[in-house]
Amino acid sequence: MYVWISLIILLLLTVAYSVLVYYASPLRDPSFQPNSGNAGSLLPWLQGIRESDWIRGATVLAGLLASNFAWLLWQLNQPQRLRLLARRPRSRTKLAIQSLFIGAYAGIGFVFFAGLWILFMGYLMVQWLVD
């Protein structure tokens, strides 16, 4: 239940971040010349935000979304996991299977993170906030 609520909150935060990036983009200014080395926000109240801050925001948001997706998949797959573990008589086998599941979901989370990070960084580059 709480995973779904946090997922909705994170998706709303992602939409808000996308809108902020869109309006902070120098492409909104008609005098902006692409490929002139002047990327970054032209809005006075956003000029103090450095490139590293935009990258850090994209990284944190991608990490939060990826961990939330992996946790959601972990919870949705719980009945099948428990059925599989209940059929195993030895505790060492159960531990090995549980470790395998943890590694698999950590890998799924990392793949989600990498994909989302590339997507967010591409969006920042298209909007000329990151060189």
The CA angle 59-61-63, to the nearest 5 degrees, is 70
In this predicted model, what pLDDT tens digit does every residue of 96-114 receive, in sequence order?
A: 878 888 999 999 999 999 9
Whole-model pTM?
0.86
In this predicted model, what pLDDT tens digit does every residue of 53-82 receive, in sequence order?
A: 999 999 999 999 999 999 999 888 887 777
- Provide the 8-state DSSP code for 25: S
Tokens linked to 118: 């590339």
Query: Residue 130, by phi and psi: left (phi above 0), alpha (psi -120 to 50) or beta?
Result: beta
Helix or strand run (H / E) with residue 47: none
